[in-house]
Amino acid sequence: MGDALAAYAASIRSCQLCREQPLKNPLPHEPRPVLRVSETARLLIASQAPGVRVHQTGLSFNDASGDRLRGWMGIDRDLFYDETQIAIVPMGFCFPGHDAKKGDLPPRPECRQHWHDGLFALMPQIEVILAIGRYAQDYHFARLGRPLPKRLRVDEIIRSSADYSPVTPRIIALPHPSWRNSGWIKRNPWFESEVLPPLRAAVASLTT
């Protein structure tokens, strides 16, 4: 990893903004930023925020959601965690905590505001972005000059992301691979027939 990117990633991993200078309520636990970056990865997984197991282990997608995502991508854990080929950058670097219904809170806004633009300026080699969930989709489409209409639902974004994506880097919109979305996947069989084959082809073309 180059010196500039390594230093920037180290600063993110030591970040305490959501405790010391929060934009909303302070993070309710000790920060543990999780990301995987390199100057050679051409594929980026742009996710939402770590879950509680990822917070505990410090390893991105080290849970059932990760198993499903790897299945969608058609790759094994060894390739998934080869950060020379695949970068993983969530919109919120730390587990945000739970809401009153025990669901995960939204990604912390401090991360995007303070870190994301600078981080992606240091990774211009990215060719394909897997944008998981609305927070990542809104940010990356806007960052690359193709802001999404507010009226679009996530299913519309996923099905028509090629219509909005810039040529390079290409954005492939995905739902969150949480098992809570199993009902959505059953209700939208086009996801497996229309989205997964080109997704796997894109992943295969950028990894070895």
Paired with 172 in beta bridges are: 130
The pLDDT score that the predictor gives to residue 5 is 98
Q: Is the pTM of this model over 0.75?
A: yes
Distance CA 131, CA 98 (A): 23
Q: Please state, rounded to an integer, the average pLDDT across all residues of the chain.
A: 94
Q: Which two tokens stand for residue 106?
A: 């939204």
Render pLDDT for 17-76 as a digit per residue (tens, 0 to 9): 999 999 989 999 999 999 999 999 999 999 999 999 999 999 999 999 999 999 999 999
Distance CA 166, CA 98 (A): 35
Render pLDDT for 112-168 as a digit per residue (tens, 0 to 9): 999 999 999 999 999 999 999 999 999 999 999 999 999 999 899 999 988 888 778
Render pLDDT for 70-123 as a digit per residue (tens, 0 to 9): 999 999 999 999 999 999 999 999 999 988 887 888 999 999 999 999 999 999
All domains of the chain in start order, with CATH: 3-206 (3.40.470.10)
Distance CA 125, CA 42 (A): 6
